[in-house]
Amino acid sequence: MMDGKGILKGMGVTLMRFLGTYTADMSWWFKHNFSSRYYNKAGIENRMSKDARGIFTVQYPEEKLPVPEEFRFIPFLLYEEGENGEKKERCTSCGICAKVCPPQCIWIVRTSDPETGRPVPEPKEFYIDVDICMNCGLCAEYCPFDAIKMDHDYELSVYDRHARNIFDHEKLLKSVSYYASIRPANYAREEAARAEAEAAKAARKKPA
Ligand code: SF4
Ligand code: SF4
C-alpha cells in the first residue's frame, strides 16, 4: 500500500543534502583559514572525494575537474627546448601517423633540400582537422619517435571551424616539458626506455 513514506524519505534525503551544502561550506571555511572550498584545487579535490557533503556543483568554466593522465583529446607535436630557446622538433615527417589515422584527418608536407631535392626529416607543414579527429590516440601509439602525443585540453568551441579548427604546424607544437607536466608517468617510462636503449647501443659499440 502506498502511504507516502517513501516520498517523505526521499524528500528528507534531498533536504539533508541541501542543508549539508551550507554546513560543509561553513566547516571548510572555519578549518581552512576562512577560505572557500570553491575555485581552488584543494576545494575541488574535497568536493570530488567520498567525504564530500552537500551539493557541489562545479562552477564551470571558472572551475574545471582534473582529468586523469590517460585522458586524451587532440594530438600535439613535441619539441625539445634547446639551450638558446630554439625548438628541436621530434617529428621526422615519416607519415606513419597520417597512414594509421582512421578518419584520415592528418596532412603532412615533407621538407625537401632546396639544392638536391632530397627529403629532409622534418615537416614543412603539418595539419590536423581537430573536428574530424576522433581522439583514438593511434597516431601517438604508432609514432616511432614519440613525436606526437594526446593533449588534455578539451575546450575547442569556436565560431569558425575552418579558420580555427584545422590546427597547423605552429599551433600543434608544444614543448616536451608541457608533455611531462600532463603525463608524468608516461614521460618517465619513455625516458627510462630511451636511456636503456642508448646504454645498450653504447655497450654494443664498445670494443671487446
Ligand atoms: S608525428 Fe611521428 S609518426 Fe607522425 S610523421 Fe612525425 S615522426 Fe612520423
Ligand atoms: S587521435 Fe586518432 S583520429 Fe585523431 S589524429 Fe590521431 S589517429 Fe587520427
**Single residue among 66, 91, 107 that ends a domain in this structure:** 66
Q: Output the tens digit of pLDDT for each of the chain's 208 residues.
A: 567 899 999 999 999 989 999 999 999 999 999 999 899 999 998 888 888 888 778 889 999 989 999 999 999 999 999 888 899 999 999 999 999 999 999 999 999 999 999 999 999 999 999 999 999 999 999 999 999 999 999 999 899 988 899 999 999 999 999 999 999 999 999 999 999 999 999 998 877 6
Q: Which atom number of ligand 1 is nearest to the Cα of residue 93?
A: 5
Does residue 56 sit in the same domain as residue 78? no
Q: Which atom number of ligand 1 is nearest to the Cα of residue 142?
A: 3
Indicate the pTM of the whole model.
0.84
Instruction: Give me 139's grid cell.
Output: 597516431
Domain count, the chain: 2
- Identify any residues that bridge with 167 across adjacent strands, giving them in sequence order: 128
Does residue 61 sit in the same domain as residue 87? no
Does residue 54 sit in the same domain as residue 125? no
Does residue 89 sit in the same domain as residue 49? no
Does residue 82 sit in the same domain as residue 46? no
Q: How many A from CA of 149 to the centre of ligand 1?
A: 10
Helix (H) or strand (E) holding 138: helix 138-142
The CATH number linked to 171 is: 3.30.70.3270
In angstroms, the CA 28 to CA 24 distance is: 6
Instruction: Give me 189's grid cell.
Output: 617510462
Ligand closest in space to the Cα of 79: 1
148 CB less than 6 Å from ligand 1? Answer: yes
CA-closest residue to ligand 2 atom 7 = 101
Does residue 137 sit in the same domain as residue 178? yes
Cβ neighbour number for residue 135 with a 10 Å cutoff: 13
Contact yes or no for 184/149 (Cβ under 8 A): no
**Single residue among 16, 44, 66 that ends a domain in this structure:** 66
pLDDT of res. 2? 61
Does residue 136 sit in the same domain as residue 170? yes
pLDDT of res. 154? 94
Q: How far is CA 161 from CA 105, 127, 156, 169, 172, in A?
A: 14, 14, 9, 17, 16
- Identify any residues that bridge with 174 across adjacent strands, giving them in sequence order: 78
Does residue 88 sit in the same domain as residue 175? yes
Does residue 113 sit in the same domain as residue 162? yes
Ligand closest in space to the Cα of 108: 1
Ranges of beta strands (E only) in 45-172 are: 75-81, 87-89, 106-112, 119-129, 148-150, 166-167
147 CB less than 6 Å from ligand 1? Answer: yes
Does residue 31 sit in the same domain as residue 85? no
Domain span at residue 12 reads 1-66
Ligand 2 pocket mutation pick from 106, 131, 151 by most atoms within 8 angstroms of CB: 106
CA-closest residue to ligand 2 atom 8 = 101
Does residue 8 sit in the same domain as residue 38? yes
Q: How many A from CA of 140 to the centre of ligand 1?
A: 8
Backbone angles phi, psi at 81, to 5 degrees: -90, 110
Does residue 81 sit in the same domain as residue 179? yes
Contact yes or no for 100/134 (Cβ under 8 A): no
**Single residue among 66, 86, 101 that ends a domain in this structure:** 66
Residues 6+ apart with CB under 8 A from 21: 53, 54, 55, 56
98 CB less than 6 Å from ligand 2? Answer: no
Taking each continuous run of H as one helix and of E as one strand, the counts in the chain are: 8, 7
